[in-house]
Amino acid sequence: MIEEVPNIQVQSFERPDPALLGQLRSTPTGFLVDAMGGTGALDFRLKPAIAEQFAFCGVALTCHAGPADNLALIHALSEIQPGDVLVACADGFTGCAITGDLVLGMARNCGAVGFVTDGCVRDLTGIRTVGLPAWSMGVTPNSPHRSGPGTVGFAVSIAGHQVSSGDVVVADLDGVVVIPQKLLAQVIAKLPAIRLSEAAADKAVSQGARGPSFLK
More confident call, 156 vs 207: 156
CATH topology of domain 20-206: Glucose Oxidase; domain 1 (3.50.30)
Between 213 and 167, where is the model more confident? 167
As a whole number of angstroms, the distance between CA 70 and CA 74 comes to 6
* pLDDT(6) > 60: no
pLDDT surpassing 50 at residue 1: no
Query: Average pLDDT for residues 177-187, to the nearest whole number?
Result: 97
Average pLDDT over residues 154-180: 97
Parse the chain into domains and list their residue ranges.
20-206
Q: What is the mean pLDDT of the chain?
A: 94
Output the pLDDT for position 216. Answer: 63
pTM here is 0.93
State pLDDT tens for residues 57-85.
999 999 999 999 999 999 999 999 999 99
How large is the average pLDDT for residues 106-111? Answer: 98
Percent of the chain with pLDDT over 90: 86
